[in-house]
Chain A
């Protein structure tokens, strides 16, 4: 069934190589996008819990805006709209970036900002789940607000939210496929191209599906490993013991067993 992957495509490369190149774009988008999203989400999530009203409101606005516009529309905004709204010279420079990068960078920015809003909500939930005594004890020790967050609150909150960050990691790698709408040839786009050239739709989509499944499994295993390492002793619900039951317990966002 998958023999088509070893046939030569219209550009002289094997179709399997097309898929691998698509996988490369998917992985780089997901990887770099994730770290940017994590960094921004951490800052915004902390911002939602600080006492300074201005910062708290700005963080809230960030989350509401980036969470409530579909990722496809955000993709179009970064790709079509932002270069037009910037000063002409800068906009032209962006529009003249050579082909893969011209789509890659808008997609990267889009996915980072979108996922960051969701990460921020998880970070906030983690911070709010900590007992008030943590903050009070830090104050009693004379730590400044910055040091309280950096040394006491954030490390604990992050250890608490590893499981819910898992679903955000899953989310960003799945959302990379939206980049095909602005012309980035990532995994799904390559699969569609192969199917259009060869009419071997089963093989093309099947191969892409298997790759996505393996990515999901890898991401899930990695996150459970991190969770096992980082978990605060005594906080784990007993149901969280078995690590190999991949899908039995991927809780949706906001669900608490």
Chain B
């Protein structure tokens, strides 16, 4: 066993930081887009919109049953075809791995967020809906001002936990050869043969970020619980 030498990690910090920034950006975009789409999917099911509800259910079921790597492969193959059919007169439009990753993670996470939000919608008591109706609020206003704020409050710890998992899952863009944190580390590791130090460093970075984040979520959970009991 050779001696561990972490200088290779410190020498390449800018490149690794660039990778980490991509991981964080991908997490942020997938979180924002996934929440919007996920809320839409959940509402389609909650309001029992004809056809839409079934489609949403099927989509969520499908996405949640197959591995993320397979979803990434699917979209890597399908998205250029779909974009081509829409905008390029039927010819496939190559968009590269980065855009594929953004689109895939948004659509993939939407399925997971929608499940959380759907459970949240069910947990709002019936009286809230009835009261909104008694005030003759429109459906839009009922959800926008009465129901969804409560749902966000109840589900926020679960949503944040899911986002931590999302951040960990972004490492799987490695299979598209993108340069996220793991991708950057593996390229450096192959370049100078320092796999052990590189992967240990990456593991430490993830451990610190995710541990801190989950402590914050636990704190938040305690605080919201306190407020509800008051």
> Do A and B interact?
yes
CB-defined contacts of B195 to chain A, threshold 8 Å: 76, 80-81, 84
Cβ contact within 8 Å between B69 and A177? yes
Cβ contact within 8 Å between B67 and A212? yes
Closest to B70 in A: A188
Cβ contact within 8 Å between A247 and B123? no
Chain A contributes a number of interface residues (CB within 8 A of B) equal to 51
Give the complex CA separation of A72 and B77 in angstroms.
22
Q: Does B98 contact A (CB under 8 A)?
A: no
- Chain B interface SS verdict (over half): helix
Cβ contact within 8 Å between A80 and B199? yes
Given contacts A70-B182, A70-B206, A181-B175, contact A251 B69 (CB under 8 A): no
- Contact with A88, one of B1, B60, B115 (Cβ below 8 angstroms): B1
Give the complex CA separation of A40 and B64 in angstroms.
26
State how many angstroms separate the Cβ of B153 from the closest Cβ of chain A: 14
Cβ contact within 8 Å between B182 and A209? no
Closest to B161 in A: A254
Closest to B116 in A: A252
Given contacts A68-B206, A69-B210, A205-B74, contact A247 B182 (CB under 8 A): no
- Contact with B196, one of A68, A71, A85, A174 (Cβ below 8 angstroms): A85
- Chain A interface SS verdict (over half): helix
Closest to B61 in A: A247
Q: Which of B64, B157, B214 has the most CB of A within 10 A?
A: B64
- Contact with B119, one of A68, A85, A192, A257 (Cβ below 8 angstroms): A257
Q: Which of B65, B66, B169, B200 has the most CB of A within 10 A?
A: B65
Chain B contributes a number of interface residues (CB within 8 A of A) equal to 48
- Contact with B64, one of A181, A188, A195, A247 (Cβ below 8 angstroms): A247
Quick one: which of A57-76 are within 8 Å of B by CB?
A: 64-65, 67-74, 76
Q: Does A180 contact B (CB under 8 A)?
A: yes
Given contacts A80-B195, A88-B1, A209-B70, contact A68 B210 (CB under 8 A): yes
Q: Does B203 contact A (CB under 8 A)?
A: yes
Q: Does A248 contact B (CB under 8 A)?
A: yes
CB-defined contacts of B70 to chain A, threshold 8 Å: 177, 188, 191, 205, 208-209, 212
Q: Does B211 contact A (CB under 8 A)?
A: yes
Q: Does B112 contact A (CB under 8 A)?
A: yes
- Contact with A81, one of B60, B62, B175, B196 (Cβ below 8 angstroms): B196
Given contacts A209-B66, A250-B115, contact A73 B73 (CB under 8 A): no
CB-defined contacts of A91 to chain B, threshold 8 Å: 1
Q: Does B168 contact A (CB under 8 A)?
A: yes
Nearest 9 pairs of A and B residues by beta carbon: A247-B61, A68-B210, A216-B65, A177-B67, A70-B168, A70-B171, A174-B67, A177-B69, A212-B66
27 A/B residue pairs, CB under 8 Å, sorted by A: A68-B206, A68-B207, A68-B210, A68-B211, A69-B168, A69-B207, A73-B171, A73-B202, A77-B203, A80-B199, A81-B196, A84-B196, A85-B1, A87-B1, A177-B67, A178-B69, A188-B69, A205-B70, A209-B74, A213-B62, A215-B65, A216-B64, A216-B66, A247-B61, A248-B57, A252-B116, A252-B158
